Amino acid sequence: MAAVDAVVIGAGHNGLAAAVNLASKGWSVTVVEAKDEPGGAVKTRELTLPGFRHDVAAMNLSMFAGSAFHGQHAGDLARHGLGFVPAEHCFASIFRDQTWLGVSKNLDVTTSRIAALSARDAEAWKAMFAEFGADAPHIFGLLGSPMPSFDAFKVLWKAWRARGTGWVYDMVRLLLASPRDFLDARFENQKVKTMMAAWGLHLDFSPDTAGGALFPYLESMANQAFGMVIGKGGASTIIDGMVGLLTEKGGTVRTGSPVEEIVTTGGRATGVRLASGEVIEARRAVIANVHPQLVFGRLVKADPARAAFDRKIAGFRAGPGTMMIHLALDGLPDWTAGEELKRFAYVHLAPDLPMMAKAYAEAASGIRPAEPALVVGQPTALDPSRAPEGKHVLWVQVRVLPAEIGGDAAGEIAPGTAWAEAKEAYADRVIRLIETYAPGLSGKILGRSVFSPADLEAENPNLIGGDNLSGSHHLDQNFLFRPVAGHSRYKTPVTGLYLCGASTWPGAGTGAGSGHMLSRMLAG
């Protein structure tokens, strides 16, 4: 029986971050991954045609580039192949009248676009951006601290000393506000509000969901300040870098090694039993970079003493489902709104707040939206190496969708049809929707690969129901309550068993926050 200091279950970026940090402190570490390749939701594959490299799920690596983990290991990761491609022109929204508004890293460029709609809003944007410069260290400091912790308290204390009681009240209001309420209080033009609110649907925040204002605010201001970053050659560059660095430090990644059971002895996690029957002993910790419902629903034996905790975990809600559509193209979309849109990393097709609210309500009711929100990624506009010369890939995220289907808002797909039978027809709807803004797209398509919510869960079991967030981020499942109250610091009731990943604080995204913070708590 092999024995190491720590076994990490799941080779997603949080698990790998924890493993690298522990190995850096002299721990012996083995990462076991059920799939035949590492990465979790951060993978790049030739999904359509040879030479066309598609990010299967995550594309935007800005959070990783700005993370504490990357800051600690940047040089070593670069030696192992990590590379970024910056986006000067970050995101844009197209509206129903075939006009658009977008954020570029150059503040004057962005504000000139806003000023064409509202001089007042251009000044409000500049003021918000100036405030962000002072607020960002405190906000990111809080997001980068275990919850709760003395570190988090110190961040709040320093913020109060530096910014005053009024600022604290304003931040609490921001954390509790819906996108619509936050934006209505600051801007007058609906297009400005719509452009920012689209970021809420990257998580599971409709315009009127409490707690949804923070992400549109942070993404808008961070993109204005720093631009956006994608991976050179694909998002999997961060995985390649971490696996290489972990191996250099003596750690091991074993793919194609599904865990059958987390072994416990006397109430303590002591290792894992693989599906092959092999047991790997963990002398100090078992770290599950796995959805908590899979850990306590499948991998850990039931224990009556843990019944209350298990019930809470069973009640941890998924966010809405997602569809991914990957296209190999003969050329980028010809956006009617303007040729300049071909330069942007993201183009949002979510043209107004009522449409976003309607799509969210339909999905929450189990109905396929007639008009879903679309995030159209154009990675080859920034990184031509992802496709053959003169060709392109398109990354289309469909937000939001039901995991199980009770109907179709457009009446085109029979009620009760499973995603396996409906996904291509729904993808056709999405292509038609894109063509209302970019006519002729169908004629450019060389290949197509569609991942329904069910396909995404099959690809990565942590994405239950196609939920790419690994759990709703609504207020009752965030901060101190992620995944459940009393267990937001990665510990579980099983001694020696820890959780990390998107289901834990600080949640979804590519920032490696939970893996980094957990490993620091374990090994300093």
Count of the separate structural domains present in the chain: 2
Of the residues 209, 226, 243, which one is the last residue of a structural domain?
Answer: 226
* Same domain membership, residue 164 and residue 220: yes
Whether 489 is in a domain gets the answer yes
What is the predicted pLDDT for the residue at 405? 86
User: What residue numbers bound the domain in which 498 lies?
Assistant: 2-49+57-84+234-316+471-523
Phi, psi values for residue 96, rounded to 5°: -65, -25
Q: pTM of this prediction?
A: 0.97
Whether 92 is in a domain gets the answer no
* Same domain membership, residue 270 and residue 175: no
Which residue positions in the chain have pLDDT lower than 70?
1
What is the predicted pLDDT for the residue at 524? 79
Residue carrying structure tokens 């995101």: 91
- Minimal CA–CA distance to 10: which of 290, 358, 417, 410? 290
* Same domain membership, residue 298 and residue 204: no
What is the predicted pLDDT for the residue at 144? 94
* Same domain membership, residue 219 and residue 164: yes
* Same domain membership, residue 248 and residue 194: no
CATH at residue 497: 3.50.50.60
* Same domain membership, residue 127 and residue 197: yes
* Same domain membership, residue 114 and residue 20: no
Whether 519 is in a domain gets the answer yes
Whether 482 is in a domain gets the answer yes
Cα–Cα distance for residue pair 430/359, rounded to 1 Å: 13
What is the predicted pLDDT for the residue at 315? 97
Helix (H), strand (E) at residue 524: none
Contacts of 496 (CB under 8 A, 6+ apart): 268, 269, 270, 282, 284, 285, 286
Q: At what angle do helices 119-143 and 107-115 cross, to 10 degrees?
A: 130
* Same domain membership, residue 240 and residue 134: no
* Same domain membership, residue 272 and residue 188: no
Whether 305 is in a domain gets the answer yes
Whether 454 is in a domain gets the answer no
What is the predicted pLDDT for the residue at 387? 98
Phi, psi values for residue 446, rounded to 5°: -100, -25
Whether 378 is in a domain gets the answer no
* Same domain membership, residue 240 and residue 214: no
Side chain identity, residue 60: N
Q: Are 10 and 288 in contact (CB under 8 A)?
A: yes
* Same domain membership, residue 116 and residue 204: yes
Whether 442 is in a domain gets the answer no
Of the residues 226, 246, 273, which one is the last residue of a structural domain?
Answer: 226
* Same domain membership, residue 216 and residue 129: yes
- Minimal CA–CA distance to 43: which of 33, 52, 53? 53
Of the residues 157, 191, 226, which one is the last residue of a structural domain?
Answer: 226
Q: Are 87 and 382 in contact (CB under 8 A)?
A: yes
